[in-house]
Amino acid sequence: MKQIFNELKSQPVIATVTIAGTALAIFLIMIVVMMQQVKTESFGQEPNRDRMLYLENLQVKGTGENGWAMASRLSSHAISQIFDNLEGVELYTTYGGIATVPVGVKGTPQLRTSLRQTDPTYWRVFAHNFIAGHPYDSVMCANGDKNVVITRGIARRYWTSPEQAVGKELWVNRTPYTVIGVVGDVSPLATEAFAQIWTPYKPDKPDDGPNGFTGGYCAAALVDRSSTNSQVKDATDRRVAEINTRLSSAEFEINTLYHPFDQEQMAIDTEWGSEPDVKGERKRRYILYLILLIIPAVNLAGMTQSRLRHRKAEIGVRRAFGAPRGRIIRSILTENLVITLIGGILGLAFSLAFAYLFAPLVFADSKSMFQSMETAPIADISAMFHWSTFILALIFCFILNFLSAGIPAIHASRINTVNAINGNER
């Protein structure tokens, strides 16, 4: 180790550039990996993303002579028709999209916040932490009670503590509601669990709308642990086929447009009504990882070769005193590994700091950015960093080490002893 640090001191410019290059490589690949992980891995209020299926769109098409078609989100009636007692579904919830509405307390300025309407099961599918109070239940929804659940941030704007907010009146879109629960703040990166205030949804009647199946809601189904996402998707297709058989006399049919989507499919931007190209997206991502791996490795190999040119005489002397080639190769690899680890640790630290400070800019996709336009975005470090990412970064350090130092080390160990001492290449 003394030899390694003395060598770094003797060539400060080359050592600095090498460490900086490694740090930059780790920084880039960490950011890219975290950008993907924050969209697909479980965290915070969405702890079961690997078992979630989402149904957001529905097409209704006429089968008679006058063909017609319309598409939108679903009615609560349609969602219950599809998911009620569906094989493999543990729970499902019906909820609306994000709406920006004014809220406030009498005598105070109104604040524009993000509202979501949900059914009572929403609080069981997603893991919101209730700091005070409780969620609304099915009885409250059926009675049409004006109840609202708010986040800690909203509660602190109008009351000194979340506990004091429970039972108080809050005006939501010029309508008085009673605060019955306060939950922790939610990051917009948790796209389906995010909101600042939640109110009970209004179930659609089967005869609402032109066909009773289109509406303003979407659904999230939690797959039970004994089933797989693909099995539930197949069960959904069979259920839709059964519904269409019953609807044949009404001369129209429904189409879920490749839904339900799993979390990885939801993270892919696709044209409306198209199936996400999961394989193509993975292929592009792996190619990007490979580019981020190879380019720094080539540059670091050149830097390693430059360092070794200054040490040919030293290698020759070591060979003359009986050092075997294997030991020389191991010492060079060890030296480069230490440099790579130093750069890797710096790159990891920089990537975490960058992720924390610029999370809304770097990690938010179009959906989460839309949801957070009227709110202060929350940088949830648990959503950005996982131990798997850290292990991947360490593996990346080792790969960089062998790619950038292995070949130069083998070449250096094969230099003729006399020529090496004299400063010759061969």
Phi/psi of residue 258, each to 5°? 70, 0
Specify the higher pLDDT residue, 329 or 417: 329
Whether pLDDT at 2 is above 90: no
Q: Give pLDDT, residue 15.
A: 76
pLDDT band at 383; cut points 50, 70, 90: low
DSSP secondary structure letter of residue 190: S
Q: Give pLDDT, residue 380.
A: 59
pLDDT band at 125; cut points 50, 70, 90: very high
Mean pLDDT computed over every residue of the chain: 83
Specify the higher pLDDT residue, 425 or 318: 318
Residues β-bridged to residue 221: 53, 92
Whether pLDDT at 364 is above 70: no
Closest to 223 in 3D by CA, of 238, 212, 234, 207: 234
Specify the higher pLDDT residue, 378 or 397: 397
Q: State pLDDT tens for residues 299-314.
A: 776 776 666 666 666 7
Helix (H) or strand (E) holding 182: strand 175-183
Cα(417)–Cα(107) distance, rounded to whole angstroms?
88
CA distances from 264 to 45, 77, 268, 281, 330 (A): 17, 27, 7, 10, 42
Strand ranges (E), 80-128: 89-96, 99-104, 111-118
Q: Are 333 and 422 in contact (CB under 8 A)?
A: no
Q: Are 390 and 348 in contact (CB under 8 A)?
A: yes
Whether pLDDT at 207 is above 80: no
Q: Give pLDDT, residue 376.
A: 46
Reported for 101-106, long-range contacts at CB under 8 A and 24+ positions apart, including other chains, are: 101/172, 101/173, 101/197, 102/173, 102/174, 103/154, 103/170, 103/171, 103/172, 103/173, 103/197, 104/158, 104/170, 104/171, 105/158, 105/168, 105/169, 105/170, 105/171, 106/169, 106/171
Specify the higher pLDDT residue, 292 or 380: 292
Instruction: To the nearest 10°, report the CA torsion of 315, 318, 323, 326.
Output: -20
Whether pLDDT at 283 is above 90: yes
Q: Give pLDDT, residue 320.
A: 76
Phi/psi of residue 195, each to 5°? 180, 175
Mean pLDDT, residues 233-250: 91
Mean pLDDT lowest for which of 46-55, 207-216, 388-397, 412-421? Answer: 412-421
CA distances from 16 to 7, 12, 87, 160 (A): 12, 6, 60, 51
Q: State pLDDT tens for residues 44-87.
A: 899 999 999 999 999 888 887 767 888 889 999 999 999 999 99
Coarse DSSP helix, strand, coil percentages of the chain, rounded to the nearest 5 percent:
50, 20, 30
Cα(48)–Cα(32) distance, rounded to whole angstroms?
23
Whether pLDDT at 30 is above 90: no
